[in-house]
Structure 1
Amino acid sequence: MTWPDWVLHLPAPLRWSFLGVAAWQAIGVLVLVLAALVAALFGRIVAVRLLRFRSRFLPNRLTLETERAIRRAIGILSGVAVSYLILGELVLPSHLDGFGRSILCGIAIVAFGMLAYSMWDAVCDDIASRATGSDRAERLLVPMARKFVRALIVLVAFLVGATMLFNADVRGILASLGIGGLVVALAAKDSVENVFGSLTILFDMPFAIGDWVRIDKTEGIVEEINLRSTRVRTFEDTVITLPNANLIRASVENVSSRRNRRQKLDLRLSYDTGPEALDAFCRDLRAWLERQPKTVREKTIVDIQDFGEPSFGVLVQCHFDAKTQAEELDLRHLLGLEILRLRDKHKVMFAAHPRPEPTAKH
């Protein structure tokens, strides 16, 4: 081991060695650690400035977790870069120098993986923030693509680390993964079916995150779609996890895909109601419904439907162009008020209260 010329000019105590490491080299290692910490802090500050500069041109904000991950990864890479420069000047014994470089290489691989991981999250956050509420493709594809590419990044980082740190044969690893994957697939048939179920959801898109669905006896809002399962939050605020394999065979009703919402009322009227009053009541109610901007005019029905004992029935059926449950209930409320107003206006006598036929559970 040959020391640089400037080391010969150091005081003798600094050139004193213990286990092959001189005092000045030990001090240099401490300096390396401190310099790495300072460089990491500086890198995080630069990352903050870069993220602020990005926000000027791309107003869509990243999540706090993504910003922290980007700052952390850039800080670690800055520390590793400075450590490499200082380590080369310390002229440590070969075994210590190799060990130090392996450690720094491993940290760098992890940091690059973290950076790629967080940058991909930033891309997904940006796409998700631009997606509109009606863009079902993006609401479905973004979460699944996020998880798939995350897994791919971790796999690539593992293969790069195995190759650079342990001189592993990548082809042998991939072959082993292929054989092992076949064995695992045979042993975990249900898990493989779940993966194919997730692919079915991806390509057929029967629903997306945020949709209101009914799947067998489960009803609620889709919160998360994973490779293995789909999570639905019910209207009782509980979470039900459904294996994706079951969704291939299940009957899936996407309530959110309704173009409009049907309302069906069976008004029971007394036979004491005169024909002129009944006709005026039906005519005015039909006209009122057709004037409403949220009503589908060609599907409006207000007519007598049956004669029974001790009352006869008037069918009131219409379709509301309502996007949410709250909007539907508001329109139904206005319809009920109009029915009561016309009842009083035309002296129509109800034999019983209107009994709405529910079209959906809320």
Structure 2
Amino acid sequence: MDDLWTPAADSSLRDELFGFTTYTLALLFAIIIGILIVRLLTMRFAPTVLRTIIRSEAIKGKTVQDSDKALGTAVGVGLAMVAINLMIEDMERTGSPILMPSIAVSFLPGILQFIVAIALVVWAFRLVNIVQDVVALFDNDDVLDGTEKTLISAVQSTLRFVIIFVGAVFVADSMGFDLTSLIAGLGISGLALALAAKDSISNFFGAITVLLDRPFKVGDWIVVGTAEGEVIEINLRTTLIRTSADTIITMPNANLVNTPVENWGKRRWRRWQTKFHLDINADGDAVASFCERVMDDIKENPKTLKEDSSFCQVSMISATSLDVDLNLYWDVSGGVEERQERAKFIIRLKNIAEDLGIEFYDGRVRQQR
């Protein structure tokens, strides 16, 4: 600070008041005014800059919402901390007009660093909320399912923990704690805690793995070892699976990482194979027409695919019936839609048979005759 204006030795600016020179008090007052001005400018222009950089309207809202005050405080007090440190350094210069009591020299930089750390933690905490909007930005259906909500919760919790940890380190440093001893103590305590809660930690990282790799999502039908059912909820520690018997299996997430998972919900199509028994007295040409019309229905159906691999043809003849094998592939989103499309298809198939005068074989009716 050699370039600062230095008052004369007999100037009233060198008069002392409570251990400060008048010159020092004037600088401190100017710094306070500077903090307010910088804070106001940051609150005014930071949201504008962020809105220019960020294109998503949803993210803009969460990013700048109520975060301008904390950011303005951090920037203003941060610059003040730099100025105070320069003033303290200048006190060592011979003839320096700056004078502060030792208590101010000892505590003032730490207090400012404490305020900066708290302001940054508050600002970062408010920014954590944009995680949901970032996930929604890449979501194709604009609806957050259970898996995505769990991912958001896990990421937000992790970020908050990191923010608190880093903020605590800066706060401890501002209060004069020995960070080397503190970090060493935290390392020992963390090791003991990790050993005591290793299962919970394994489940937590298992949840992170499931949420990032996404081997399944809420609503998928999966098989894990001897457990089979529909995934109804993915939590940070466990995944809930509803079985076909309507019971709930609570599966630790660590097991999902170490055990092969068969996901029926990842199927690109749903194959349906069945057999129809036609009356042995049915006309052969009518049966051939029946198979052709069924295939035409399959090819024209928007809910089927792999027409080249689909078939409807006579496979067996017996003394009482003609057996027709049917193979097709549904292009549906789930079991409910598959059952609905199958019901419609069976009704159309029955109408085709009636139109051609074909009856289905019923062993019970034959026995009564």
Preserved contact between residue 43 and residue 71 of structure 2 (Cα < 8 Å): no
Structure 2 counterpart SS, 1:173: helix
**Aligned-partner Cα distance in 1 for 2:155–2:42:** 29
Residues 229-244 of structure 1: matches in 2 within 5 Å? 229-230=238-239, 242-244=251-253
State the Cα distance separating 1:219 from its structure 2 match: 3.3
One-letter amino acid of the counterpart of residue 242, structure 1: M
Please say which of residues 257-266 and 102-111 is displaced more in the overlay. Answer: 102-111
Partner of 1:75 in structure 2? 69
One-letter amino acid of the counterpart of residue 256, structure 2: L
State the Cα distance separating 1:222 from its structure 2 match: 6.1
Partner of 1:22 in structure 2? none
State the Cα distance separating 1:247 from its structure 2 match: 1.6
**Aligned-partner Cα distance in 2 for 1:44–1:295:** 58
1:59 matched to 2:53? no
Q: TM-score, normalised to structure 2's length?
A: 0.63
Partner of 1:159 in structure 2? 169
Preserved contact between residue 60 and residue 126 of structure 1 (Cα < 8 Å): no
Partner of 1:212 in structure 2? 220
Partner of 1:344 in structure 2? 354
1:300 matched to 2:310? yes
Residues 268-283 of structure 1: matches in 2 within 5 Å? 268-283=277-292
Structure 1 counterpart SS, 2:199: helix
Preserved contact between residue 39 and residue 75 of structure 2 (Cα < 8 Å): no
Preserved contact between residue 296 and residue 321 of structure 1 (Cα < 8 Å): no
**Aligned counterpart for 1:114 among listed residues 103, 108, 122:** 122
Q: 1:302-336 CA distances to partner (integer Å, 9 max, x unpaired)?
A: 23455679755433221122345565455435423
Partner of 1:15 in structure 2? none
State the Cα distance separating 1:342 from its structure 2 match: 1.0
**Aligned-partner Cα distance in 1 for 2:234–2:263:** 15
Preserved contact between residue 73 and residue 112 of structure 1 (Cα < 8 Å): no
One-letter amino acid of the counterpart of residue 116, structure 2: A
CA RMSD of aligned residues (A): 4.9
Q: 1:181-238 CA distances to partner (integer Å, 9 max, x unpaired)?
A: 33223323422432453465368x3625456142454633565463x33466899999
**Aligned-partner Cα distance in 1 for 2:148–2:56:** 20
Q: 1:329 to 1:349 in 2, by over 3 A?
A: same
**Aligned-partner Cα distance in 1 for 2:344–2:242:** 30
Preserved contact between residue 70 and residue 122 of structure 2 (Cα < 8 Å): no
**Aligned-partner Cα distance in 2 for 1:237–1:252:** 20
Structure 1 counterpart SS, 2:305: coil
Q: TM-score, normalised to structure 1's length?
A: 0.64
Q: 1:210 to 1:291 in 2, by over 3 A?
A: same
**Aligned-partner Cα distance in 2 for 1:167–1:311:** 90
Preserved contact between residue 43 and residue 68 of structure 2 (Cα < 8 Å): yes
State the Cα distance separating 1:260 from its structure 2 match: 0.7
Q: 1:337 to 1:92 in 2, by over 3 A?
A: farther
Structure 2 counterpart SS, 1:219: strand
Residues 16-31 of structure 1: matches in 2 within 5 Å? none
**Aligned-partner Cα distance in 2 for 1:182–1:5:** 53
**Aligned counterpart for 1:284 among listed residues 293, 300, 309:** 293
State the Cα distance separating 1:113 from its structure 2 match: 2.4
Q: 1:291 to 1:117 in 2, by over 3 A?
A: same
Structure 2 counterpart SS, 1:167: coil
Q: 1:41 to 1:200 in 2, by over 3 A?
A: same
Preserved contact between residue 151 and residue 211 of structure 2 (Cα < 8 Å): no
Preserved contact between residue 135 and residue 148 of structure 2 (Cα < 8 Å): no
**Aligned-partner Cα distance in 2 for 1:301–1:126:** 46
Q: 1:311 to 1:83 in 2, by over 3 A?
A: same
Report which of the two structures shows the higher radius of gyration computed on alpha carbons. Answer: 2
**Aligned counterpart for 2:190 among listed residues 181, 191, 194:** 181
Partner of 2:345 in structure 1? 335
One-letter amino acid of the counterpart of residue 359, structure 2: M
Preserved contact between residue 220 and residue 232 of structure 1 (Cα < 8 Å): yes
Identity %: 23
Residues 117-196 of structure 1: matches in 2 within 5 Å? 117-119=125-127, 121-122=129-130, 125-126=133-134, 128-132=136-140, 143=152, 147-169=157-179, 171-195=180-204
State the Cα distance separating 1:142 from its structure 2 match: 6.7
Structure 1 counterpart SS, 2:164: helix
Preserved contact between residue 261 and residue 321 of structure 1 (Cα < 8 Å): yes
One-letter amino acid of the counterpart of residue 59, structure 1: S
Preserved contact between residue 140 and residue 209 of structure 1 (Cα < 8 Å): no
State the Cα distance separating 1:239 from its structure 2 match: 8.9
Residues 246-257 of structure 1: matches in 2 within 5 Å? 246-257=255-266
**Aligned-partner Cα distance in 2 for 1:331–1:176:** 64
One-letter amino acid of the counterpart of residue 180, structure 1: S
State the Cα distance separating 1:339 from its structure 2 match: 0.8
**Aligned-partner Cα distance in 2 for 1:132–1:301:** 35
Q: 1:5 to 1:179 in 2, by over 3 A?
A: closer
Q: 1:129-152 CA distances to partner (integer Å, 9 max, x unpaired)?
A: 13546xxxx969974655544433
Residues 83-102 of structure 1: matches in 2 within 5 Å? none
Q: 1:125 to 1:206 in 2, by over 3 A?
A: closer
